[in-house]
């Protein structure tokens, strides 16, 4: 992708894995300050997920790339993001499906899965590009992992 960048995240883990994916999805921001974005519209989100850790699993992976795609792309692709009421809210601003919140929720989905793995990897960064000119980087704080 022409406009792709890979922002670096600093950590002390031995291994770092990055998974790219594209997610076609619709959303709307349920607030008058959002202007035109209060209307339902679509994006092809470009997502980069960074997972790090010191230990590999029994198959030599930090985490299986396909598994990572399944839990994020499999849930959000070709959906109306606002419909995922287990993740997003149309009344609480901190859970509106803005690019910022989409990045945070992806990090939470990923970390929830990583927490079930014996090698205990960590999601250290989620990059979400909403358009050729706009992107967000979310980095979970160590205390919230
Ligand atoms: Zn939008």
Looking up tokens 């209060």 gives 38
Q: Enter the tokens of residue 79.
A: 């959906």
Measured in Å, residue 27 CA sits from the centre of ligand 1 at 6
Q: Which residues are catalytic?
A: 37, 78, 130
Ligand 1 geometric centre to CA of 34 (Å): 9
User: The tokens 């927490």 sit on which residue?
Assistant: 115
What is the pLDDT tens value at each position of the chain, 145 positions in all? 556 788 899 999 999 999 999 999 999 999 999 999 999 999 999 999 999 999 999 999 999 999 999 999 999 999 999 999 999 999 999 999 999 999 999 999 999 999 999 999 999 999 999 998 999 999 998 755 5
Report how far residue 69's alpha carbon sits from residue 49's, in angstroms, rounded to the nearest whole number: 10
């Amino acid at each position: 992708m022409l406009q792709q960048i890979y922002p670096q995240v600093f950590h002390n883990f031995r291994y770092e894995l990055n998974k790219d994916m594209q997610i076609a999805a619709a959303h709307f921001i349920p607030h008058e300050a959002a202007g035109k974005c209060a209307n339902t519209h679509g994006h092809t989100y470009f997502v980069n997920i960074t997972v790090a850790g010191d230990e590999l699993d029994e198959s030599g992976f930090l985490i299986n790339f396909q598994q990572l795609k399944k839990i994020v792309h499999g849930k959000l692709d070709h959906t109306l993001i606002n419909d995922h009421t287990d993740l997003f809210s149309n009344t609480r601003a901190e859970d509106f499906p803005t690019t910022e919140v989409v990045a945070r929720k992806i990090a939470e989905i990923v970390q929830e899965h990583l927490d079930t793995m014996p090698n205990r990897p960590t999601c250290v960064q989620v990059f979400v590009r909403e358009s050729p000119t706009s992107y967000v980087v979310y980095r979970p704080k160590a205390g919230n992992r």
